[in-house]
């Protein structure tokens, strides 16, 4: 079986080239071509020997994904990729003014089963390798001229249930000898896998962290996110405080606003009380339809909720994120590839 070099660290590449009879310094050349130059073609690696090129072509895999389809609207492009195991994932590029944000997937499907998320309805199929995560970024980087300003792990899957591969990919993105994205430009979002959040803190990682909250009380969150029965809201608030004590960039709580479910005046007041003096950021995201029983609140309801939050909030920041690409199912919670062959 061929060795996949995409997603490998410099140490792993050094071990690989030495094991196969090539000088150690060749690993750095391969590393630079893959990450700094973003090449998908071994033949274009100009400063490596012909013997090594032939060996890599015959014995390694550098392309982990192929583009199957893409759709565009609203300065947003959704990419449908096929893996080498014939599974499908989606990634999104969003451009607004001088910002170019890319949304990456970490799994095929998802086991967390949030009731308002299309990916959750797929169930879990497989984890993505670090190379498959990196290749989403590299393909978008090579396809769209606008420089990437922000990377968010908010696509298909629960990143912290694929912790090692996600963190390894993020470190490759952050490496100044590779892709060279600052840690503050990379955000990892989780449904609230508390043991992994604690590991993230203990590992002293500097990437931004977001937690999908989506409710102001356990009863509602239990319905929307079954994972809450294992790790309830009080535990999320506790671990958020721990994170904020250890990081310069405070944690972000994401709150998908759903009609008649979590958008009442009481919800707004409870949420403001819950986050009082937490130092966290609150990201309000009006719901995007996935064809089930949930719907987006009316504009009046959204404005009313936001008005109360602004009046009641104390000691935390409020942001509102209107999803782009909703018409092509590229908005928050809409990514899904179930049934594709």
Structure tokens of 57?
Answer: 């072509």
Q: Is residue 202 part of a domain?
A: yes
- Judgement on whether residues 180 and 75 belong to the same structural domain of the protein: yes
- Same-domain status, 243 and 321: yes
Flag whether 339 is in a domain: no
pLDDT surpassing 50 at residue 274: yes
Last residue of a domain, one of 42, 61, 80: 61
Counting residues of the chain whose pLDDT is more than 70, the rounded percentage is 94
Mean pLDDT of the chain, nearest integer: 92
314 is catalytic: no
Instruction: Give the count of domains, the chain.
Output: 2
Judge if 70 and 90 occupy the same domain: yes
Q: Which of 103, 114, 117, 332 is the catalytic position?
A: 332
Average pLDDT over residues 92-102: 95
Q: How far apart are CA 109 and CA 85, in angstroms?
A: 14
Average pLDDT of 330-339?
52
Q: Exactly one of 90, 132, 158, 254 is catalytic; which is it?
A: 90
Structural domain includes residue 341: no
Indicate whether 327 pLDDT > 80: no
User: Token pair for residue 128?
Assistant: 């993505």
d(C-alpha 21, C-alpha 10), whole Å: 17
Residue 256 sits in the same domain as residue 205: yes
For residue 37, tell me if it sits in a domain: yes
**Would you say 196 and 232 are in contact if contact means Cβ atoms under 8 Å apart?**
no
122 lies in the same domain as 48: no
pLDDT of residue 161: 97
The residue from 12, 33, 61 where one domain ends is 61
Task: Tell me, yes or no, whether 54 and 198 share the same domain.
Answer: no
Here the CATH number for the domain that contains residue 41 is: 1.10.150.530
pLDDT of residue 330: 47
Residues 152-205 pLDDT 10s:
999 999 999 999 999 999 999 999 988 999 999 999 999 999 999 999 999 999
In a domain, 237, yes or no: yes
Distance between CA 136 and CA 4 in Å, rounded?
15
Asked if the model's pLDDT at residue 148 lies above 90, the reply is yes
Report the C-alpha gap between 341 and 339 in whole angstroms: 6
| Catalytic residue status for 332 | yes
Question: 216 pLDDT band (50/70/90 cuts)?
Answer: very high
- On whether residue 337 sits in a domain, the answer given is no
Residue 339 burial (C-beta neighbours within 10 Å; 0-12, 13-18, 19+) = exposed
Same domain for 257 and 130, yes or no, is yes
State mean pLDDT over 89-113: 94
- pLDDT of 158 reads 97
Do residues 13 and 87 both lie within one domain? Answer: no
Which of 38, 61, 84 represents a domain boundary (last residue)?
Answer: 61
Cα distances from 226 to residues 203, 239, 294, in angstroms, run 27, 19, 16
Q: pLDDT > 90: what percent of the chain? A: 81
pLDDT for residue 304: 94
The CA-based angle 93-134-102, given to 5 degrees, is 15
HSE-CB at 168 with a 13 A cutoff on CA atoms is: 18
Question: What are the CA-CA distances from residue 265 to residues 12, 43, 178 (Å)?
Answer: 54, 61, 48
pLDDT bin (cut points 50, 70, 90) of residue 341 is very low
Identify whether residues 179 and 37 lie together within a single domain.
no
Give me the residues paired with residue 4 across strands. 61
pLDDT band, very low/low/confident/very high, at 313 (cuts 50, 70, 90): confident
- Tell me the pLDDT tens digit for each residue of 129-143: 999 999 999 999 999
Mean pLDDT of the 333-340 span: 51
Secondary structure of residue 245 in the 3-state scheme: helix
Residues 38 and 185 in one domain: no
CATH of the domain at 106: 3.20.20.70
Determine phi and psi for 94, rounding to 5 degrees: -125, 125
Residue 72 β-bridge partners: 77
Query: Does 69 lie in the same domain as 44?
Result: no
The verdict on residue 56 lying in a domain is yes
Q: Give the neighbor-by-neighbor strand order of the sheet with 281-286.
A: 65-73, 76-83, 88-96, 99-103, 150-153, 186-190, 208-212, 252-257, 281-286, 317-320
CA–CA separation, 60 vs 62, rounded Å?
A: 7
Rounded to an integer, what distance in angstroms lies between the CA atom of residue 285 and that of residue 282?
Answer: 10
Instruction: Check pLDDT > 60 for residue 328.
Output: no
User: 156 and 33, same structural domain?
Assistant: no
* Side-chain half-sphere CA neighbours of 315 within 13 A: 11
Cα(34)–Cα(55) distance, rounded to whole angstroms?
16
Query: Is residue 165 included in any domain, yes or no?
Result: yes
Q: Which domain holds residue 47?
A: 3-61
Higher-confidence residue: 198 or 287?
A: 198
């Amino acid at each position: 079986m061929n060795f996949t070099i995409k997603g490998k660290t410099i140490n792993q590449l050094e071990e690989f080239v030495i094991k196969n009879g090539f000088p150690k310094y060749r690993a750095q050349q391969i590393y630079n071509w893959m990450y700094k130059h973003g090449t998908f073609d071994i033949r274009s690696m100009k400063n490596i020997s012909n013997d090594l090129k032939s060996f890599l072509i015959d014995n390694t895999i550098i392309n982990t994904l192929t583009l199957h389809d893409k759709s565009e609207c609203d300065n947003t492009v959704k990419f449908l990729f096929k893996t080498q195991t014939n599974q499908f994932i989606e990634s999104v590029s969003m451009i607004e003014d001088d910002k170019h944000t890319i949304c990456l997937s970490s799994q095929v499907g998802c086991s967390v089963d949030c009731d308002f998320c299309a990916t959750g309805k797929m169930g879990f199929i497989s984890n993505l390798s670090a190379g498959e995560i990196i290749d989403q970024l590299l393909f978008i980087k090579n396809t769209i001229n606008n420089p990437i300003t922000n990377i968010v792990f908010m696509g298909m899957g629960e990143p912290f249930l694929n912790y090692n591969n996600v963190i390894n990919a993020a470190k490759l993105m952050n490496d100044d000898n590779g892709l060279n994205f600052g840690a503050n430009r990379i955000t990892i979002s989780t449904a609230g896998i508390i043991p992994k959040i604690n590991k993230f803190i203990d590992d002293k990682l500097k990437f931004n962290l977001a937690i999908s909250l989506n409710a102001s009380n356990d009863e509602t969150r239990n319905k929307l996110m079954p994972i809450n029965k294992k790790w309830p809201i009080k535990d999320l608030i506790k671990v958020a405080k721990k994170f904020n004590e250890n990081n310069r960039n405070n944690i972000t709580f994401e709150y998908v606003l759903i009609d008649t479910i979590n958008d009442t005046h009481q919800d707004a007041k409870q949420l403001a009380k819950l986050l009082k003096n937490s130092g966290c950021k609150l990201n309000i995201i009006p719901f995007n339809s996935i064809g089930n029983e949930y719907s987006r609140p009316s504009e009046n309801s959204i404005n009313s909720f936001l008005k109360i939050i602004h009046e009641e909030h104390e000691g935390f920041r409020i942001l509102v994120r209107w999803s782009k690409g909703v018409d092509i199912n590229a908005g928050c919670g809409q990514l899904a590839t179930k049934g594709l062959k």
